[in-house]
C-alpha cells in the first residue's frame, strides 16, 4: 500500500512539474582505511565474511582495476576530496597541507553549496591550510583529527555513541543511521561521507566479533613471502614496508594477524549494514547512490612486505563499488575491468549531483561505466610515492595491461631501476619483464606513457612537489639528481 501511495504521489509530482529537473540522488560515500581487496568475499577471498559488502557489490558495479594513485592515507584522502593527483594538490604527511582553494572545491563543500545536506564522520585525515578540523563546513559532524581512536569515548565528536557503540567502527554506522533519519525529514538531498578508521593499525577489532575468525586459517596468496621479492627493486626494500614483514608478524603469525585484520573489516561490514538498513527504513534507498572504497590497500605479506605506500598491486589496487539503484546497472552483479582511480571519486560524486567539475580536476566521472562496464575512462593512470625514505619514493604508470615503475634513486647499493609487470597475466607481480626480449615493445610503450605522465606532473606540480619534476624524470641521470639535493 505504501509503495502504491509513493508511486501515485510521484506521478502527481511529475505531472505538476513536467519541466522540473530530475530529482537529485542522495549520496553515501564510504571509505575504509588500509583495506586490501584480499579482505572481501566479492574480490574472490572465500575466507572473508563480508555479506553486506558482497550484497552491495552484487547490486552495484564492482571495479577490478581501481587504483589509489598515492597509497597513503593523507595524500589519497586529499585526492579523493579534490579529484587531483598528489603532485597537483600537494597534501601529504610532512610535505604540505591542502590549500583553501582546493578544499573549497572539494566534493562535500561543492555539494553543500549546491543545496545538499552534508554529514561527515570518522577519520578526516587531511591537514587543511589555516585551520584545524572543518566541523563547521558540514551540517552534521562526527569527524576527528589525526588517526582518531578505535575507542569511541576518545573521539570528541562521537561521544554520544560511546555507551552503545564503544568501538568506533559501529559508532560510525550509528552516526550514518541517525544522519539519514534526520536528513530525510528535510526537503533537500543529502551527502553522507563516512571514513572508517578500520582496518588501519593498531589492530584492535571490536571484541564482540572475536568469534567470527577464531582459529581461522587463511589461504596464503601465491606471492606471499620474501622468496617472491628477489626480482623486485632494492629501493622498495629500504623503507619500513620491508621491516614490517617481521615486526608486524606476517612472517611468524600470518593467521593471527589476518584474523584481526579481517575482524576489523567485519566490523565495517556490519556498520555498512546499519547504514543500508537505515536507507531502507527511511524509504530513500531507491534514490541513494552508495559508493564504497578504501584510501589505500595493504601488502599483508605479499613479497615479504607489510603496510602500504609501494606501488605494488596489494598496496595500490583497492575495492571500489558503485550502486546506483536508479540505474539499469543495478542488481546485475556487474563488474568493470576499466582502469579507474581515486582521482575519479570527486568527479563522479559531482556528476551524480548534476554539478560540473571545477577547473584543474584530473579525474573523470565513472558514471559512463555504469552504462557500459566494458568501456574505458582512462588509457593510463599515474601512481606515485612521495613519502618516506627517498629510495622508496617513485613514480609509475599503469594501464589495463601493464604497470611500469621507475625507481629513480641510485647510490652505493643500487642503481636506478625499472620494473614492468603484465597486469593481464601476472597480477601477483611475480615476473619483472624489463629484461624480457619478448616484451621490448611493451617496455618502450610504457616508457613513453611514463614520459607523458611526467609531462603532466611537470605542468601541474605545486611548489612543494616541483622537486619531482627532476627526481622522477627517467632521462636525468642519478648523478645529476644526487648532486642537487641534500641527503634524504
Ligand atoms: Ca590509509
List pLDDT tens digits, range 267-326: 999 999 999 999 999 999 999 999 999 999 999 999 999 999 999 999 999 999 999 999
Determine the distance separating the centroid of ligand 1 and the alpha carbon of 73, expressed in angstroms. Answer: 4
Range(s) for CATH 3.30.1120 in the chain? Answer: 382-482
Is 382-482 CATH 3.30.70?
no
Contact 406, 474 (CB under 8 A): yes
Residues of the chain with pLDDT under 70: 1-22, 484-488
Range(s) for CATH 3.40.720.10 in the chain? Answer: 24-378
pLDDT at 266: 98
- Span 404-431, pLDDT tens digits: 999 999 998 899 999 999 999 999 999 9
Element (H, E) at 419: strand 417-422
The upper half-sphere exposure of residue 149, i.e. CA atoms within 13 Å in the direction of its Cβ, equals 12
Determine the distance separating the centroid of ligand 1 and the alpha carbon of 203, expressed in angstroms. Answer: 13
Give CA separation, 382 vs 45, 70, 86, 101, 216, in Å. Answer: 27, 9, 10, 23, 37
Contact 84, 364 (CB under 8 A): no
Measured between alpha carbons, how far is 177 from 369 in angstroms, rounded to an integer? 29
Measured between alpha carbons, how far is 349 from 27 in angstroms, rounded to an integer? 8
Determine the distance separating the centroid of ligand 1 and the alpha carbon of 86, expressed in angstroms. Answer: 14
Cα angle at 223 between 217 and 227, to 5 degrees? 105
Element (H, E) at 224: none
Contact 123, 195 (CB under 8 A): yes
Determine the distance separating the centroid of ligand 1 and the alpha carbon of 32, expressed in angstroms. Answer: 8
Determine the distance separating the centroid of ligand 1 and the alpha carbon of 200, expressed in angstroms. Answer: 7
pLDDT at 20: 53
Provide, rounded to the nearest whole percent, the portion of the chain with pLDDT above 70. Answer: 94
Contact 462, 90 (CB under 8 A): yes
Determine the distance separating the centroid of ligand 1 and the alpha carbon of 24, expressed in angstroms. Answer: 31
Q: Cβ contacts of residue 437 below 8 Å, gap of 6+?
A: none
Measured between alpha carbons, how far is 236 from 481 in angstroms, rounded to an integer? 19
Measured between alpha carbons, how far is 418 from 210 in angstroms, rounded to an integer? 44
Helix-then-strand count for the chain, H and E: 15, 12
Measured between alpha carbons, how far is 23 from 25 in angstroms, rounded to an integer? 6
Instruction: Name the CATH superfamily housing domain 24-378.
Output: Alkaline Phosphatase, subunit A (3.40.720.10)
Q: What is the pTM of this model?
A: 0.94
Per-residue cell: 382: 599515474
The C-alpha cell 563546513 sits at: 137
Determine the distance separating the centroid of ligand 1 and the alpha carbon of 290, expressed in angstroms. Answer: 20
Determine the distance separating the centroid of ligand 1 and the alpha carbon of 4, expressed in angstroms. Answer: 45
pLDDT at 483: 73
Per-residue cell: 15: 505531472
Determine the distance separating the centroid of ligand 1 and the alpha carbon of 197, expressed in angstroms. Answer: 8
pLDDT at 412: 84
The dihedral built from the CA positions of residue 380, 355, 278 and 280, taken in this order, carries a sign that is: negative
- Span 223-254, pLDDT tens digits: 999 999 999 999 999 999 999 999 999 999 99
Amino acid at each position: 500500500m505504501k509503495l502504491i501511495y509513493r508511486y501515485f504521489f510521484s506521478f502527481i509530482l511529475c505531472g505538476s512539474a513536467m519541466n522540473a529537473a530530475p530529482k537529485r540522488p542522495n549520496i553515501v560515500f564510504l571509505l575504509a582505511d588500509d583495506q586490501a581487496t584480499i579482505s572481501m568475499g566479492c574480490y574472490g577471498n572465500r575466507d572473508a565474511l563480508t555479506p553486506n559488502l558482497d550484497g552491495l557489490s552484487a547490486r552495484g558495479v564492482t571495479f577490478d582495476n581501481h587504483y589509489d594513485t598515492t597509497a597513503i592515507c593523507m595524500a589519497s584522502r586529499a585526492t579523493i576530496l579534490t579529484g587531483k593527483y598528489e603532485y597537483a594538490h600537494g597534501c601529504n604527511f610532512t610535505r604540505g597541507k591542502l590549500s583553501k582553494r582546493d578544499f573549497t572545491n572539494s566534493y562535500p563543500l561543492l555539494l553543500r553549496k549546491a543545496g545538499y545536506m552534508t554529514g561527515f564522520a570518522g577519520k578526516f585525515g587531511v591537514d587543511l591550510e589555516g585551520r584545524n578540523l572543518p566541523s563547521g563546513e558540514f551540517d552534521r559532524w562526527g569527524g576527528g583529527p589525526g588517526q582518531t581512536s578505535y575507542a569511541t569515548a576518545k573521539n570528541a565528536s562521537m561521544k554520544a555513541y560511546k555507551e552503545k557503540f564503544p568501538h568506533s567502527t559501529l559508532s560510525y554506522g550509528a552516526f550514518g543511521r541517525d544522519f539519514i533519519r534526520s536528513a530525510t525529514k528535510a526537503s533537500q538531498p543529502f551527502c553522507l561521507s563516512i571514513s572508517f578508521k578500520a582496518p588501519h593499525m593498531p589492530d584492535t577489532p571490536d571484541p564482540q566479533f572475536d568469534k567470527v575468525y577464531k582459529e581461522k586459517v587463511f589461504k596464503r596468496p601465491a606471492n606471499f613471502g620474501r622468496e617472491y621479492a628477489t626480482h623486485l627493486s632494492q629501493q622498495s626494500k629500504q623503507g619500513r614496508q620491508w621491516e614490517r614483514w617481521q615486526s608486524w608478524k606476517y612472517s611468524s603469525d600470518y593467521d593471527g594477524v589476518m584474523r584481526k585484520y579481517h575482524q576489523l573489516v567485519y566490523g565495517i561490514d556490519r556498520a555498512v549494514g546499519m547504514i543500508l538498513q537505515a536507507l531502507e527504513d527511511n524509504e530513500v534507498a531507491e534514490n541513494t547512490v552508495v559508493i564504497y572504497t578504501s584510501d589505500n590497500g595493504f601488502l599483508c605479506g605479499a613479497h615479504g612486505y607489510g603496510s602500504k605506500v609501494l606501488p605494488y598491486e596489494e598496496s595500490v589496487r583497492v575495492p571500489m563499488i558503485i550502486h546506483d539503484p536508479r540505474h539499469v546497472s543495478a542488481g546485475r552483479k556487474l563488474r568493470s575491468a576499466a582502469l579507474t582511480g581515486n582521482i575519479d571519486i570527486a568527479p563522479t560524486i559531482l556528476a551524480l549531483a548534476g554539478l560540473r567539475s571545477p577547473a584543474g580536476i584530473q579525474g573523470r566521472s565513472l558514471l559512463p561505466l555504469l552504462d557500459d562496464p566494458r568501456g574505458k575512462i582512462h588509457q593510463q593512470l599515474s601512481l606515485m610515492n612521495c613519502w618516506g625514505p627517498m629510495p622508496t619514493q617513485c613514480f609509475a604508470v599503469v594501464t589495463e595491461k601493464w604497470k611500469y615503475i621507475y625507481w629513480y634513486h641510485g647510490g652505493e647499493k643500487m642503481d636506478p631501476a625499472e620494473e614492468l609487470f603484465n597486469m593481464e597475466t601476472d597480477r601477483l607481480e611475480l615476473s619483472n619483464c624489463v629484461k624480457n626480449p619478448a616484451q621490448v615493445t611493451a617496455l618502450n610503450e610504457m616508457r613513453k606513457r611514463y614520459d607523458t605522465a611526467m609531462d603532466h606532473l611537470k605542468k601541474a606540480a605545486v611548489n612543494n612537489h616541483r622537486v619531482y619534476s627532476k627526481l622522477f624524470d627517467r632521462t636525468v641521470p642519478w648523478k645529476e639528481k644526487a648532486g642537487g639535493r641534500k641527503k634524504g
